[in-house]
Chain A
Amino acid sequence: MTDIASTRPTSMRDLAAARKREERRTRAFLLAPAMAILIFAASGPLLIVLVYSFLTPGDYGGVVWEFSLKAWFNVFAERDFFTEEIELADAHLSIMWRSIKLSLMTTVICLIIGFPTAYFIATRPRGTRDFWMLLVIIPFWTNLLIRTFAIMELIRNEGTFNSFLVGIGVIDTPIQMMFTEFAVLVGMAYVYLPLMILPIYASMERFDFSLVEAGYDLYATRFQVLRRIILPLVKPGVVAGSILVFVPCLGAYVTPRVLGGGKNMMLGNFIELQFGQGRNWPLGAALALTLLVIVMVALIFYVRAVGREEVRGHG
């Protein structure tokens, strides 16, 4: 009988410990797929890219297993073929600059169009919102290449837009839009707009619009309501949308390729070139990692800037 008294607490403790073990096992089990993807599908290839960027290019593509810093050197600089002088790789830097510039502009355009759109949808009657969201999402069901060609059809010299303008006599000769940065901008803004609308809509749908009335009631004008009440509360959506647009824009490949042509190459196209015709895999790898660093630096700056504003806004 004395046994029971002494064993019961122990068994209780055992039970608790067993339950904890069980919990750990469940958690590990649930985490496994995500971990597998992160390790094998994300970190693995990245590691390969990192290694390749320090190797020597093979003559017909691929790599030779010979350590070299040449690829990294070539990302930013080049040695003059004749004088052997080192100078900045203008071509590479201008491509990087164009990528950043166009991505930023696309993000701003998407924000300017996407924010009112999301606001519009979020303020429709509950039953009709799904319909409007469907309109936003439908383009996603179509292949990116086809959507890009559709844009091309609209803006090329003999395309819908120019034909119309020439037809009604506004202009004599078509406006050259294809193969310009403008074309790339239009294409990317069109392609990535849903990625801006979706997260903003998600935070707006949770937004309590009686706060807008409260704002008006307390002498805030439309603009003040937008700036002081709506924006701070849907900011998470705006931040997420901006990141979702900016990041894939930096690495965009199809859109600049089809609409921008060779003259308006962006980083994505340039990297592809190294793995294809350029036959310089290490340079391609180094450029890809540079892109990654640009994205990360941009994100850190962005998140910091947004965070600081928050401190100021509520301090």
Chain B
Amino acid sequence: MIEIDRVTKVFGSAADAFRALDTVSVTIRQNEFFTLLGPSGCGKTTLLRVIAGFVDPTEGSVTLEGQDLLRLAPYERPVNTVFQSYALFPHMTVAQNIGFGLEMQGKPGEEVRRTVGEMLDLVRMSELADRRTSEISGGQQQRVALARALAPRPRVLLLDEPLSALDFKLRKDMQLELKRLQSETGITFVFVTHDQEEALTMSDRIAVMNAGAIRQIGSPRDIYDHPAERFVADFIGDTNFLEAELLTVEGERAEVRLASGREIAARAAEGGAGQGPVTVAVRPEHADLAPEGEGLLPGRLGDVVYFGTDTHFHVDLDAGGRFVVRRQNQPDQAEARGRGDRVSVRFGPGVGQVLRD
């Protein structure tokens, strides 16, 4: 329903031009919790600001339900933003902040009051309606910013790293709160974050961005289990990268030969190479240790690091490189293996992901 079509944004000109967005195309569906995930400077906030109307793209088009958004001024777009700094109006009370958008839309006073009341209930801030925004805590300010952006009932809510200023526990609570608000209001959320965990737990779909381009779009599980390329695999979670040779590929099914000489089935990303040398990504928790001679990749055990919930086994592979296996801990389980032991890494067919690059 939001169609972003080949949007490019170049800041500056000529010599010092910076391509913040490079022919980005994406379709965001109705009622979706859509996340733009990427490191700082990847263009995710610029894309958000293009939708909001604070940045005019150099090229491309943005439509909302068929309506050309680029021809509308920011104050004409049925889109509201929760700003990273919240940008609450310091000279107004909580209720006045929340009612501002409705007032500007020219809604009658009675309706403004009623909606503000509903919004205060929705974000559980009714008791603090008459406080100045400087007199409430960061988490409360966050909720006021949310209520203020939701009050005019926008078609789309844009959230620019809204949780980054909160401490860990509050952030966890707000993640759930945001999910609740999204399902209760049925509004499409476009959420910008650099926090992969936040993206994985909250989103219906994630677009991973880097250097002004979208690298992969998919559900959290898709993105995590089947990263299409090295950047995505590296940015989200921990990954082992293995040098391998692609033998055959047929749709998603691929056959690769590992450096140890063993052959195994793997998944291929779309648009990858035909045959030849490739990189295969394996998540640490998708692999396991086997006695020497049984697994796929023989090696010597290096560091064994205990993390409470799980233990990381660092294996120095005979074929070169290091492979990390993560295994969940059980109560009172003594670890038999130690540094220097001969082991082998194993993982099932279809677990390895052949990367595009």
Contact = CB atoms under 8 A, between A and B. Distances in A.
A217 B74 contact: yes
Given A210-B83, A224-B104, A314-B96, A216 B53 contact: yes
Contacts of B40: none
Contact of B104 (A208, A218, A232): A218
B87 A219 contact: no
A210 B75 contact: no
B91 interface: yes
Contact of A217 (B75, B85, B93, B105): B75
Given A213-B54, A232-B91, A233-B91, A220 B85 contact: no
B52 interface: yes
Contact of B85 (A210, A215, A216): A210
B89 interface: yes
B54 to A, nearest CB: 6
Contacts of B203: none
Q: Interface range on chain A: under 10, 10 to 19, 20 to 34, or 35 or more?
A: 10 to 19
A210 B85 CA distance: 8
What 5 pairs across the A-B complex have the smallest Cβ distances?
A: A218-B101, A214-B87, A219-B104, A216-B74, A210-B87
A180 B181 CA distance: 67
Interface string B81-102: 1010101111111001000110
Interface string A228-240: 1100110000000
11 contacts: A211-B89, A213-B54, A214-B87, A216-B54, A218-B101, A218-B104, A218-B152, A224-B104, A229-B89, A314-B92, A314-B96
A130 to B, nearest CB: 22
Nearest to B132: A314
B73 interface: yes
Greatest chain A CB density within 10 A among B73, B75, B148 is at B75
Contacts of B83: 210, 213-214
B90 A214 contact: no
Interface of B: 52-54, 73-76, 79-81, 83, 85, 87-93, 96, 100-101, 104-105, 148-149, 152
Interface string A10-36: 000000000000000000000000000
A221 interface: yes
Contacts of B92: 314
A211 to B, nearest CB: 5
B238 to A, nearest CB: 36
Given A208-B85, A210-B85, A314-B96, A217 B80 contact: yes
Contacts of B101: 217-219
B75 A220 contact: yes
Contact of A218 (B54, B80, B85): B80
Contacts of B88: 214
Given A219-B105, A220-B100, A214 B89 contact: yes
Contacts of B76: 219
Contacts of A214: 81, 83, 87-89
A218 B91 contact: no
Greatest chain B CB density within 10 A among A208, A217, A313, A314 is at A217
Contacts of B91: 232-233, 313-314
Contacts of B73: 216
